Chain A
Amino acid sequence: MRQRLWALALLSVLILPAAAQELKPFVGGSIKEITAARQGKPFILGMWSLTCAHCREELALLSSLLKKHPDLDLVLVATDTPEEGEAISARLRQSGLGGAQAWVFADPFVERLRFEIDPRWYGELPRTYLYDPSHKVLAFSGKPDPRQLEQWLKKYFARH
């Protein structure tokens, strides 16, 4: 048993790079956790999936914004499953988003997860939420307009 655990530990070290970001399981209550940790602070919540081509454009856009505004607080939630964790982390790394806080849907009852995030979100991706400091939210479906994002960012985050 102990040997097997060691093998598992070794395996995980081999698979995951040393600086791998933690992929948190997104379940009922997670959105409250995310907003509570950011009381009075602006942030961007980005919903995406491995299977969504427009999401790659979205990730590239967020990555470029992060380069311009290094203090941007970015929370990324993949609507895939925890079993796809490796691929999710790899995609985020490739997109230059290895430093963002990353979550993955961890409950097959997706209607509940979506409802807690936004009752008006029907699952289309990418879906982007801009939380201002009072947590009033602007929501976008599809790839957001880069200029609109940039305008919003300028209000709250210093430019590099």
Chain B
Amino acid sequence: MNNSTIALFLAATLAVCPALAVDHAGHDKSGAAAPAAAPADRANVWKAKLAKPSLALTAAFDGKGRLWLASIRDRHLYVSHSDDKGTTLSAPAMVNAEPEDILGDGENRPKIVVRKGVVYVSYTRGLEKPMTGDIRFSRSLDGGRSFSAPLTVNDNREVISHRFETLEVNDRGQVFLAWLDKRDLSAAIRKGEKYSGAAVYYAVSDDGGASFQPNIKAADHSCECCRVAMALDNESVPVIFWRHIYGKNERDHAMLRLDGKSSPIRVSYDRWEVDACPHHGGALSIASDGVSHFVWFNNAAERHGLFYAHSADRGNRFSAPLNFGNFEAQAGHPHVLSLGKAVHVAWKEFDGQNSVIRAMASADGGKSWSPPRQIAATAGASDHPLLVADGTHAYLSWNTAKEGFRLIGMAP
């Protein structure tokens, strides 16, 4: 497959990046005063949204330098791989044999992790009611040629929101999934009680993804529709990072080490109080020396824009948050990747004509940074930027409506 056929293949999977929207399905259930639209109307809008093509494409390297891609097309998840950094791609393998409404809008995207020859994927399947979903998981034991029938990971099966999942696999073959879950909101509504936001749940598989242990609640009161980030620390324990609701309505960020005994730690104090969902989650990368690197977005009057901070002691202390990106240019959707002491941060801006990806790098574990520089641009709709590494080098993975998928090396 040459570049143009890749572009063609991808073009089929891409098209419109749906406008950002806010969803607080739980809030209206709990009794909004506004006249609600007829349920059929909302359901139809939701169905139309589900049917839209998605630009969400996720890339990951395996341990041998092979690049793997997961993308959504016509209600199927497809996985392909490349041995030349995306120039040529294998024929895509279909993950779900039965068509499903795989979410790929806003902060939803499929996830892919490849460890020791096993390909692990997860995604959120939209259900029939607006803003609802189930967390789905599948794996391939034959090098990505075929995939297991997807299983539903959330053990609460109400038609409510279980969405925005994140996936990691450690070298022991343990599979970790964390997501935002509205089962506690649903229970509160049944009891006539109030519950703000959603909850964060996670599940662990100790048999390489054949089955999952019962779901565990990580925290109550998360923001409802921002992606959850997860990374493995230097002891192969997963750490999650998400937008939480503090106090009455402060949408700040929290981290939690999923070791079964740690408590959530507040990471940001920007104090953005807003009755809206930003659809704008953070990212986390943990270096081999155990330093955790965080990036996020907030929009409080006093403290707004993109922020970076690190912690060398698992969240006891954080560096003073560094404000970066051009706030007058919609700087958003930051991603972070560490390779030893090297740290890369990439984000999206709009320069008046094009959406551009800008990046900055640190060679000393996040203490000092290069000036931001432009990595790529597009004059159309685009996915969020992602940073991936093949063990030694960092790359920007970016999918755009006009150019298709691009993998661009990051200068050290």
Contacts and interface: CB of A to CB of B under 8 A. Distances in A.
B25 A87 contact: no
B352 A124 contact: no
Contacts of B302: none
Interface string A97-138: 000000001001111101100011111111100000000000
A125 to B, nearest CB: 4
**Which of B34, B42, B130 has the most chain A CB atoms inside 10 A of its CB?**
B34
Contacts of A90: 37, 41
A19 B35 CA distance: 21
A124 B226 CA distance: 11
Interface in A51-109: 51-57, 59-60, 79-81, 83-84, 87, 90-91, 94-95, 105, 108-109
Interface residues of B, number: 52
Nearest to A127: B276
Contacts of A60: 33-35
Nearest to B274: A142
B23 A105 contact: no
A21 to B, nearest CB: 16
B44 interface: yes
A124 B277 contact: yes
A114 to B, nearest CB: 6
Given A79-B19, A87-B41, A109 B34 contact: no
A114 B277 CA distance: 17
Contacts of A122: 20, 278, 280, 297, 299, 330, 332
A143 interface: yes
B41 A84 contact: no
B412 interface: no
Given A52-B24, A60-B33, A119-B330, A81 B278 contact: no
A83 B278 CA distance: 24
Contacts of B322: none
Contacts of A80: 19, 21, 45
Given A84-B45, A84-B48, A87-B44, A49 B21 contact: yes
Interface stretch (B10-18, B110-118, B158-166): B10-18
A83 B27 CA distance: 26
Given A108-B15, A111-B330, A115-B352, A123 B279 contact: yes
A50 interface: yes
Given A51-B45, A109-B379, A110-B381, 8 more contacts: A50-B42, A60-B35, A79-B19, A80-B45, A87-B37, A95-B34, A125-B20, A141-B274
Interface of B: 15-25, 27-28, 32-37, 41-42, 44-46, 48-49, 130-131, 274-280, 297, 299, 327-330, 332, 348, 350, 352-353, 355, 379-382, 401
